[in-house]
Structure 1
Amino acid sequence: MERAASAGGHRALFPKDSFSLKDFSSKDFIVRDFVDHLAETALPTNRRSGPAQQAPFDPKPLIRTFENALSQLGSLSEELQEQESDILSQVRRAELQHDQTLETLGRKLDQSMAQFEVLDLSLNSTNGANGHSRRGSRQSQHDAGGNIAVQIGEKLEELDRKRRRAQDANFLIQCWVEVSESGQLSSLEEIRRQGNPENKVRCAAISKQLMRISQRLDPAAWGQTTAFRSQLNRDSVIVRKHNTREILEKFRESLEQDLLNQFTASYKYQKYDDMMECSKVLYDFNEGASVIAQFINQHPFFIGGDQLTTDEVTSDSETWDQLADPDADPSGVEPSLQSLVDEVKIILQEESFMIKRAFPYHEIVLVRFIQRVFQQSIQQRLEMVLEKAKSISSLTFLRSLHASRSYISALIEDLKAHGLTEHPEPASAQISQTLDQQMEELFVPYLVGTTYIDRERKSLEELYSSLLFKYTIFHSRRKKAPSGFMASLAQQGNQLLASAKDAALERLESADATAVQKAILLRVAGLKDNSNDKNDIEVSDEDGVLSLPYAKRMLTWLAESVRRTLELNSALETPKDVSVLLNLLLTSMGQVYIETALDAALDAATAQESIKSEPDLSYLPSIRPAVTITALMSRFINTVLIRLAETNATVRRNMETQTKTAIESIERKTNNVLRSTLDVAINYATRTLGTQKKLDFRPRDDDLENLVESLQTPTCAAICTFLSRLATVASQAMDGHNLEMFSTELALAVYRLLFEHFKKFQVNATGGLMVTKDIARYVDTMKEWPINKDTEGIVEMLTEVGYLFIIGPEALKERSRNLGSGTSGGHGKKLLKGDFKAFVGRREDVGTPAIQALLVGI
């Protein structure tokens, strides 16, 4: 900048060229500070006077300064733009040069790849047939080159294998020469002494090959026949100085024993890697049979577990008594067998882990171990437990068998879920199959064919016959009804009853039955001891009646047998098994128990149909337990047994037919008892009505005082008392619809008797009162029964009959207007004309003109 002097003597702010580009391009350049600095330099620095002496401000120097700065900024901007343009030109040139370099390198790469492909094609053409065309694509050429490399690698591997085979063959020939010429195996022993597992594997393989060579080249050592020798070239057969077979077998035995000893030592110190190597080598000898056998035989479970499987079954007598008691809940598995099974579970879970680490063929080892555990340990103990149970009673054996199978089955499922060698995954298919097979083999002797269901049937027969022992004795001793049609029908039931009694006697007196079983059967039968003659046993009337608790016990025992059958026997055999149990139930409970009671009731009822005294109806209450027990039995059969046979349509239909036939037989006998009871009641009422005196309804006037005091005639009192007692007994024997039907039939029968009865007697005015009192008593007695509404309306007709003897002619005329059409019958709700005339005709005043006119007008 140039200096500019004003009139006041001011000078320029800055000298010329005092600014450069660096001043404005610095990072510390701030416009505000730059302007402030310019403003400060606008005043002289040596000014010392106060404000009053200061000269007026002159902006012109500043303006000039800013104009000069602006012009310099413009020149700087142009210089900056020129530099920027120069730099952009350099960048473009560098980019062009970079693109050219990349293109050049690309061409060189393509040339190199083309040269490589040409070389690859030339290599491939040397292996191909002459005249083949060259491949056109780069991918094809690359594939061809890859094939060449693979072929070269395969050839190298083949050469390496041939080299190794040649070395092995050379070593094998060397060993054969040694063993055949000198009877030694020095080279093989040297490898064996090195102790390396790989060398032992090689020794095993070479010794196996030497055995084959010996069998081929030294037939004398193997005792080959002349026929075999003739197949060989006679010139090649050389007589050996040493028996190569014995030498090789001794070496292999020694090698195998060393490996077994090493395996045992490793097992003792839990060296699983060494065990794995030994088991690998030993598998080449006899597929691991020796090492598996040694592992299992030396296992602590089989060495120390012999005592557990050979000790006698010494459970406390209370446990066995509970198993033998049919009314007690069955206890669990026998304690010693339970302990063994629990130990087996732990052993298998722990040892399977070790087996997997010690054997490459761990599944084979585990299968053998499982077989040994079940066949030697569990089977022996199971047989001892079941033999002990069999010596006690049939039920004890069945309960022990069921408990044992359930507990061992739970063991099988736990082992499958645990997985053993596959833990924590479930067990493999082979292991699962082995466990199932061992489970099946344990119990096949007890479940084959019909063995099991025969045992169940025999046990139930023993219990049923013992429970019904006194019952069958009582009914076998009671007096049967006289010969007749009903007696002939009951003959089959009597024979069945006798056979049941004989079977019970035979079981109680059998020499094959154990003391415990006899004691249980005696207790079930309600006998104190086995010393008395069973034919002289005293029985009471209570022993001959049906008992609902007895029936429940029988069904409970059967339900327990069904449960065992479902869990023990095959599902395919279930329909046949439940069919056998159904036959037993229908025979024991249906025929021997229920039908025998009904036969006894029918005999009692039939015997009283013609007696002159008042009938004994004590037999009638036996119908209620018979009906209840039949309902329970039918419900159990339909909801349990028949449903279990649904898989076999033929068996199910047969069971349904048998059940229907049995129920119909019981219902038919029940109806016979009730029908006979009605006959007994009607016969008694008929005989009692026959004792009615003719003067009962024609009293003299001097008897009027006594008649007023009496409520009814003796005949009416006797009949009503009997009918009331019959109604009470019937309500004890039946209920619901059955009682209603019985009461209705009885009421109708009595009604018919009374309706005809009052047509037979002359009635005077005073006797009409007695008739109404008797009829009222009859009606009140029958209305107390659970009869239906229609029958109740019919019974009420008797009241109308009573009125006909006491009302006057005008009232009779009024009632005659509501008579029904017909002559007689008395079965409707209206009196018929014939019945009306019959009753009115028995009035003493029937001859009066008024009544005669009434009768003529009807």
Structure 2
Amino acid sequence: MNFSIYDLDENIKKLLNLDNFLNGITVNDFIEEISKDHFLKEAEVNKLGYLDPKPYIRTFESTLRELKQLNSQSSEQTQMSERHVDNYELKHSENVLQLSSNIDRSVKKFDVLDAKISEVTNRINPLGHSLNKITNSRDRSLETIFLIRAYHGFYTKEKFDALETLRTSSKYDDKTKCAKTVANLLTLAKKIESPDLPKTTKCLQVIEKYSEVMERNLLNKFEVASEEGHFDIMREIAKILFEFNGGANVVQTFVSKNDITLDPAQDEEGSILDEESTWQKLSDPNFGEVIKDKSTENILDTLRFEIKSRARVIQQVFEDPVPVLKIFIQRVYAQIVQNKVNTLLQFSLSVSTLAHVRVLHVLYILVGDFTKDVKEFLTMNEFDKENELNSILDQSFYDIFIEYTSETVYFSREKKNLEEIVYDIVHKFNTYNEAELSSQALATKIENLDNFEYNQKSTEHASNDRFSFHFSERKRLNQFKAYVKSKLTDKPRNSVSERNDLEAELYKNISITKVETVLKSAIESVARILELTPTKAPELALEILEIILFDFGKLYIGGGLEVAYDHLKQENVSSKINSNQEFNFDYLYTFSLVSEILFLVSSTIKKIILPCAVNFPNIKNRMINLTNSYVSRCEVSLNILLQETLDLIAGRLAFCLTKQKKKDFFCDNIEDDTEACESISEFLNVVYSTFIGTLNNDNLENVLVKVGMNLLNQLLEHYKKFTVNSIGGIVLTKDVIRYQTCIDEWDIPELTENFQLLKEIGNLFTVQAKLINSLVTEGQLANLKPYTIRQYVAKRADFNPSYIERFFNLKH
């Protein structure tokens, strides 16, 4: 009951409803709503009229009371809802328990039923087995009875009409039964046949003849169906004949009927057999392009298409296509591919060894790609689930090339090819350089150095390496010499005078093009080895390395160094050193050429040959040791060649200084440069132009530094021998400036700085005596010993030993 003296407005009462608050009305909205009717109601804002607060107070009191009442109602509803939830949860738990017990009862009933069913099954199974046995026995009995009747018919009448009816029937099952019966008849007749019963032999012959007629009749139908493209009929006949005797004859018939025949024009089109120019290119080691035989490519493309199309037909005709595809593939490889390969390879053998190995490589890759493509097709189309056909393809491919790729046959030809290339180059080089190569002076000198180094070695490992290298080298050289002798007996050698001048120009001097020819041929050989005999690649690559280092490197590159050394020796004779004859430094071209050749050889070995033995440490170490030993010997040869050239230059410089006259520096007037200075300057220009054309980079600078320092040392000693007056000092200074000019042109700061000492020494002869003391404390003279300076000062024309300390004040 409401005792309020101030009732709420009806609109406000509508607001005080629990549903409004539950439906989302906010406090702010509620306050605004109850206050809007009293806001400034009847107020005078500007005149500050009276505002009665009671309506506000009563309104909010009533509102607060109503809100409390609503709150209590909400609490009661919440409690009631919680009680309802508890009741429902209890009922749910009771339902779950009841359902669980129901399920348990159902499972128990199911177990009982399952046990009963299992019991029934256990009783029925023996009955089923017995029934199957009875059925099978009945069928076998019927078959046996039919088989005995059939044999009796052939035995007595030489025929059996019921069997003939089956044979001539158009039904598949009848024909199958006939085939099985005939097969069993043949087995039975062979067992019964006895010499004591002649009629059994006759019966066997009749049955065999009947089986032949039956099979021949089926095969004829198979052929007709094949021609007309009736694959269903072919498949039925094939299944019948497989039941009869394993299907050997039907397979043979199918293969023969579907044999691949090539158009003769296709075989000849694009063939290289009659192209003489092509075979000449194949025999040229410098020819690097791959020549393709269009005829072979066309044949393989045709076979690729035919095999794929035949495989799909075989899949439709035979339940198991694998046995048929085996025979078909073997025939293709044996009759077509092998004939083509043999024709080309046999012809290539009559052309040249190089042509043969190149053609072998090309055909190996062509047929290999063809085989790989066929294998992928058969695998992708699920013809070969057990990998039986892959094995047949691999074996067929192997059988084609085994005659040519066996280790003893193939690599002997590969090695013969390389030896022929090396022999052709080395033999012509030796022919044009017989005189120079006969002395082997450089080899003897290096051998002495080797022996010295060998005697200095103390470790057993180093000794073994040394012995191994020399043993292998001698072995390879002996083998190659034997090969060369055999070549010489086969082909008489012409005298040098009979040879073509152009050939002499090409072969007399070592040539980087010849080296490139050999290296390219070796790289070709390695590429072929990796394709044809990959398992033997490390050992065979080692043999190729030995051919490069021992056969070619020793006889050609080493021969070139021998020729250069012989030319040096011809220049290095006292008659030339101590005369005005000009030196011929042409042999020095060998230095830069051999350096470049060694770089090419080392790069080839490092990038091509060594990777072949990456998984074989022993062979790889052997390759590295052989290469390092060979390169080391070549570097020793180059060092000897260069050092003796420097000695030769030093000897000529010393000879030029002997032209210095005693009066050159003790004269009364200044003339042109002295004869010694002229000779040395001209000789220095020749030396510089020679070295700059034959050496490069660090080698050029190091050699020029040695030549310059040698000249400087000789001049320093030279100027200690001559008395110099004031005018002669100017002449000496002119000579020094001429020397400095020659050296400055070399653009080597080290030499330019060192030759400054000569000018300072020249000043010792030109300055006044009283200035010598201050002169020797400056520049490079300050680094000389007093005794050395005294030697120069003592050659001054105004030198007086008794006054040396007083005038020159030189310290000890």
TM-score, reference length from structure 1: 0.72
Distance change in 2, residues 1:715/1:343 (3 Å): same
Partner of residue 687, structure 1: 655
Instruction: Say if 1:692 and 1:715, in contact at 8 Å, map to a contact too.
Output: yes
Distance change in 2, residues 1:507/1:482 (3 Å): closer
Q: Please show how residues 349-748 of structure 1 align to structure 2 within 5 Å.
A: 349-419=308-378, 423=381, 429-478=387-436, 486=444, 507=487, 510=490, 536-539=498-501, 540=504, 543-569=507-533, 571-609=534-572, 610=574, 611=576, 612-613=578-579, 614-699=582-667, 701=668, 704=669, 707=670, 709-710=671-672, 712-748=673-709
Query: 2: CA distance between counterparts of 1:425 and 1:327?
Result: 46
Of 109, 115, 120, the residue aligned with 1:145 is 120
Instruction: Say if 2:674 and 2:735, in contact at 8 Å, map to a contact too.
Output: yes
Q: Give CA-to-partner distance per residue, 1:41-96, whole Å, 9 cap, x none.
A: xxxxxxxxxxxxxxxxxxxxxxxxxxxxxxxxxxxxxxxxxxxxxxxxxxxxxxxx
Other structure's SS at 1:691 match: coil
Instruction: Say if 1:197 and 1:277, in contact at 8 Å, map to a contact too.
Output: yes
Query: 2: CA distance between counterparts of 1:193 and 1:782?
Result: 115
Distance change in 2, residues 1:770/1:241 (3 Å): closer
Query: 2: CA distance between counterparts of 1:425 and 1:356?
Result: 8
Other structure's SS at 1:698 match: coil
Query: 2: CA distance between counterparts of 1:630 and 1:783?
Result: 33
Deviation (angstroms), 1:625? 1.1
Partner of residue 25, structure 2: none
Instruction: Say if 1:562 and 1:578, in contact at 8 Å, map to a contact too.
Output: yes
Distance change in 2, residues 1:836/1:811 (3 Å): same
Other structure's SS at 1:692 match: coil
Kindly provide the amino acid, as one letter, of the partner of residue 512 in structure 2.
L
Q: Give CA-to-partner distance per residue, 1:283-307, whole Å, 9 cap, x none.
A: 23442221112222232415x6689
Q: In terms of Rg, which structure is larger?
A: 1
Q: Please show how residues 11-26 of structure 1 align to structure 2 within 5 Å.
A: none
Deviation (angstroms), 1:659? 0.7
Q: Give CA-to-partner distance per residue, 1:518-557, whole Å, 9 cap, x none.
A: xxxxxxxxxxxx9976773255566422322332233222
Of 781, 790, 793, the residue aligned with 1:840 is 793
Residue 778 (structure 1) aligned with residue 739 (structure 2)? yes
Query: 1: CA distance between counterparts of 2:476 and 2:185?
Result: 82
Query: 2: CA distance between counterparts of 1:482 and 1:325?
Result: 32
Instruction: Say if 1:505 and 1:534, in contact at 8 Å, map to a contact too.
Output: no
Distance change in 2, residues 1:458/1:542 (3 Å): closer
Query: 1: CA distance between counterparts of 2:479 and 2:732?
Result: 57
Kindly provide the amino acid, as one letter, of the partner of residue 660 in structure 2.
Q
Distance change in 2, residues 1:734/1:283 (3 Å): same
Kindly provide the amino acid, as one letter, of the partner of residue 246 in structure 2.
E
Partner of residue 800, structure 1: 760
Of 186, 193, 211, the residue aligned with 2:168 is 193
Q: Please show how residues 215-254 of structure 1 align to structure 2 within 5 Å.
A: 215-220=190-195, 240=199, 243-254=202-213
Kindly provide the amino acid, as one letter, of the partner of residue 228 in structure 2.
Y
Instruction: Say if 1:758 and 1:839, in contact at 8 Å, map to a contact too.
Output: yes
Instruction: Say if 1:379 and 1:442, in contact at 8 Å, map to a contact too.
Output: yes
Query: 1: CA distance between counterparts of 2:645 and 2:313?
Result: 82
Query: 2: CA distance between counterparts of 1:481 and 1:764?
Result: 53
Residue 292 (structure 1) aligned with residue 254 (structure 2)? no
Instruction: Say if 2:646 and 2:707, in contact at 8 Å, map to a contact too.
Output: yes
Instruction: Say if 1:192 and 1:200, in contact at 8 Å, map to a contact too.
Output: yes
Query: 2: CA distance between counterparts of 1:356 and 1:154?
Result: 37
Kindly provide the amino acid, as one letter, of the partner of residue 308 in structure 2.
Q
Q: Give CA-to-partner distance per residue, 1:143-164, whole Å, 9 cap, x none.
A: 3234445554444333322221
Kindly provide the amino acid, as one letter, of the partner of residue 601 in structure 1.
A
Q: Please show how residues 805-824 of structure 1 align to structure 2 within 5 Å.
A: 805-817=765-777
Residue 266 (structure 1) aligned with residue 266 (structure 2)? no
Instruction: Say if 2:568 and 2:587, in contact at 8 Å, map to a contact too.
Output: yes
Deviation (angstroms), 1:788? 5.9
Deviation (angstroms), 1:741? 1.6
Instruction: Say if 2:786 and 2:810, in contact at 8 Å, map to a contact too.
Output: no
Deviation (angstroms), 1:588? 4.5
Distance change in 2, residues 1:846/1:313 (3 Å): closer
Query: 1: CA distance between counterparts of 2:159 and 2:305?
Result: 49
Moved more, 469-478 or 742-751: 469-478
Deviation (angstroms), 1:730? 1.1
Partner of residue 711, structure 2: 750
Partner of residue 464, structure 2: none
Q: Give CA-to-partner distance per residue, 1:723-782, whole Å, 9 cap, x none.
A: 221121112221111112211222222111111111011111111111111122223323
Distance change in 2, residues 1:435/1:161 (3 Å): same
Q: Please show how residues 76-87 of structure 1 align to structure 2 within 5 Å.
A: none
Deviation (angstroms), 1:481? 5.9
Residue correspondences, number = 677
Instruction: Say if 1:574 and 1:644, in contact at 8 Å, map to a contact too.
Output: yes
Gaps of 5+ in 2: 1-104, 451-469
Deviation (angstroms), 1:506? 6.2
Kindly provide the amino acid, as one letter, of the partner of residue 585 in structure 1.
I
Partner of residue 60, structure 2: none
Query: 1: CA distance between counterparts of 2:390 and 2:291?
Result: 26
Deviation (angstroms), 1:319? 2.9
Query: 2: CA distance between counterparts of 1:829 and 1:219?
Result: 131
Gaps of 5+ in 1: 1-109, 118-134, 222-237, 512-529, 821-827
Query: 2: CA distance between counterparts of 1:255 and 1:349?
Result: 32
Instruction: Say if 2:282 and 2:355, in contact at 8 Å, map to a contact too.
Output: yes
Query: 2: CA distance between counterparts of 1:497 and 1:538?
Result: 29
The structure with the greater share of residues assigned to helix is 2
Partner of residue 51, structure 2: none
Distance change in 2, residues 1:856/1:692 (3 Å): same
Instruction: Say if 1:575 and 1:651, in contact at 8 Å, map to a contact too.
Output: yes
Deviation (angstroms), 1:681? 0.4
Query: 2: CA distance between counterparts of 1:198 and 1:150?
Result: 30
Kindly provide the amino acid, as one letter, of the partner of residue 698 in structure 1.
F
Query: 1: CA distance between counterparts of 2:725 and 2:201?
Result: 146
Distance change in 2, residues 1:425/1:160 (3 Å): closer
Moved more, 263-272 or 306-315: 306-315
Moved more, 182-191 or 733-742: 182-191
Instruction: Say if 1:310 and 1:381, in contact at 8 Å, map to a contact too.
Output: no
Q: How much identity, in percent, do the aligned residues show? A: 24
Instruction: Say if 2:660 and 2:676, in contact at 8 Å, map to a contact too.
Output: yes
Moved more, 397-406 or 809-818: 809-818
Deviation (angstroms), 1:495? 14
Moved more, 157-166 or 637-646: 157-166
